[in-house]
């Protein structure tokens, strides 16, 4: 081997070693460094309903720049402590299912709307169970509830289903029902945790400075591409608002191109999934309620009669299900005030004020039936 090749090889070895050493320092000194692999400890694949939160864990998760405590019970639902949830109970139980809004990303359980309702109902001897997980959609709502009822033997009296505007894209493009009855998807990475465990990409993102930079650049490029899709007429002058009020996943309610491309199909599939859920709850004697709420995009455009709200309201009436309508609450004040008051800055999810607003409306909805139950006892 020539002296030049030996020198080049030595330099490469030194650079690789330095890269790996610096990455180890990054793990210690940078809070988010190992976040991707850290989440694989508690955001796990599920063989039936695709993905779930691991049962009975106490972890710290991050959302944006904030850290928060994440605790789950034996069902894999967020809770105040890693308790074992009995499959049956001698008191009333209300289960709530949805996606990241119901899971309550960004906040400890006690500050989420489900946590607030949980605390308030506990005083009335009513137990509240959170079955929601990020990136769920109606097909997964039905399959998870079916599994909990018919395979686990879980018993509850009421089911509240929070159907997210972003669920429609998930139904159209992400999920399908496999031949064995399990949920399958065609998307790569992301929530497909089973495709990422032990993958080279995750290893590089954690153990290599170069790998970390590559992932950061890729994430930034994806954000840049989303921002480029916002037309000049849609810009508000506030970048933290521009992105959230023009978020693609909920655009089917106001963008005809999105509606024609995937919105119509996604809504049809969502309704089919809700029909399955309606039949399932009837078979088990469970009271069913659906809830509709807007994203910042609907709020910003004053879409009080958004396709999302209309479809769920009509479905609930036709299927004799309850309906919680949160659109009027979020559209009761000027759009900019609403977005800044109830949503995390630069995010479509609710902040603590938003969770309190939703909790208040859910408690108002439950109050008459809870009162009648208490009186009967």
Q: What is the mean pLDDT of residues 299-321?
A: 97
- With cut-offs at 50, 70 and 90, classify the pLDDT of residue 191: very low
Q: What percent of the chain has pLDDT over 70?
A: 74
CA angle at residue 49 from 282 to 100, to 5 degrees? 90
pLDDT digits (tens, 9 = 90+) for 237-272: 565 688 899 999 999 999 999 999 999 999 999 999
Residue 279's φ and ψ, nearest 5 degrees, are: -65, -40
How many other CB atoms are found less than 10 A from the CB of residue 195? 15
Residues in the chain, how many?
377
**Residue 1, strand partner residues:** none
Q: Is 315 helix (H, G, I), strand (E, B) or coil?
A: helix
- Structural contact between residues 297 and 331, judged by C-beta atoms closer than 8 angstroms: no
Q: Catalogue all structural domains in the chain, each as residue range(s) with its CATH number.
A: 32-188+229-376 (3.40.50.1110)
pLDDT at 6: 64
Cα gap 33→39, rounded to integer Å: 12
How many other CB atoms are found less than 10 A from the CB of residue 71? 20
Alpha carbon 230 to chain centroid, angstroms = 24
Note the pTM of the prediction, 2 decimals: 0.82
- With cut-offs at 50, 70 and 90, classify the pLDDT of residue 289: very high
Cα gap 166→295, rounded to integer Å: 9
Burial class, 352, CB count within 10 angstroms (exposed 0-12 / middle 13-18 / buried 19+) = middle
Buried b (16+ CB within 10 A) or exposed e, 104-143: bbbbbbebbbbbbbbebbeeeebbbbbbbbbbbbbbbbbb
pLDDT at 225: 44
Residue 101's φ and ψ, nearest 5 degrees, are: -65, -40
Which residue from 63, 116, 98 is spatially nearest to 353, judged by alpha carbons? 116
pLDDT digits (tens, 9 = 90+) for 195-217: 444 455 555 555 665 555 555 45
Q: What is the mean pLDDT of residues 293-315?
A: 97
CA angle at residue 220 from 217 to 222, to 5 degrees? 110
Mean pLDDT of all residues belonging to the chain: 85
pLDDT digits (tens, 9 = 90+) for 313-336: 999 999 999 999 999 999 999 999
Q: What is the mean pLDDT of residues 147-174?
A: 97
Q: What is the mean pLDDT of residues 69-85?
A: 98
- With cut-offs at 50, 70 and 90, classify the pLDDT of residue 168: very high
How many other CB atoms are found less than 10 A from the CB of residue 252? 28
pLDDT at 243: 83
Does the structure show a pLDDT above 90 at 222?
no
């Amino acid at each position: 081997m020539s002296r030049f090749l030996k020198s080049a090889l030595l330099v490469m070895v030194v650079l690789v070693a330095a890269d790996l050493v610096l990455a180890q320092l990054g793990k210690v000194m940078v809070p988010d460094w190992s976040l991707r692999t850290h989440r694989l400890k508690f955001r796990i694949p599920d063989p039936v309903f695709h993905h779930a939160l691991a049962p009975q864990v106490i972890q710290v998760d991050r959302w944006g720049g904030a850290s928060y405590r994440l605790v789950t019970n034996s069902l894999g639902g967020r809770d105040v402590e890693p308790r074992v949830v009995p499959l049956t109970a001698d008191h009333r139980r209300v289960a709530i299912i949805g996606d990241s809004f119901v899971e309550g990303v960004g906040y400890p359980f006690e500050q989420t709307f489900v946590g607030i309702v949980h605390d308030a109902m506990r005083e009335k001897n009513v137990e509240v169970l959170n079955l929601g997980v990020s990136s769920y959609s109606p097909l997964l709502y039905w399959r998870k509830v079916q599994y909990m009822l018919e395979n686990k033997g879980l018993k509850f009296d009421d089911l509240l289903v929070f159907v997210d505007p972003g669920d429609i894209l998930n139904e159209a493009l992400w999920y399908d029902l496999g031949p064995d009855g399990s949920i399958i998807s065609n998307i790569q990475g992301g929530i497909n945790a089973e495709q990422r465990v032990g993958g080279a990409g995750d290893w590089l993102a954690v153990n290599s400075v170069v790998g970390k930079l590559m992932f950061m650049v890729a994430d930034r490029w994806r954000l840049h591409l989303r921002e480029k899709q916002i037309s000049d007429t849609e810009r508000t002058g506030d970048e933290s608002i521009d992105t959230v009020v023009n978020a693609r996943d909920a655009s089917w309610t106001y963008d005809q191109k999105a509606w024609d491309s995937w919105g119509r199909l996604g809504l049809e599939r969502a309704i089919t999934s809700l029909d399955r859920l309606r039949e399932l709850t009837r078979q088990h004697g469970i009271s069913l309620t659906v809830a509709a709420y807007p994203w910042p995009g609907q709020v910003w455009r004053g879409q009080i009669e958004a396709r999302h709200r209309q479809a769920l309201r009509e479905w609930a009436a036709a299927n004799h299900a309850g309906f919680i309508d949160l659109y009027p609450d979020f559209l009761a004040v000027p759009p900019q005030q609403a977005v800044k008051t109830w949503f995390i800055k630069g995010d479509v999810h609710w902040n603590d004020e938003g969770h309190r607003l939703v909790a208040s409306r859910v408690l108002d909805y439950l109050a008459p039936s809870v009162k009648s139950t208490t009186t009967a006892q």
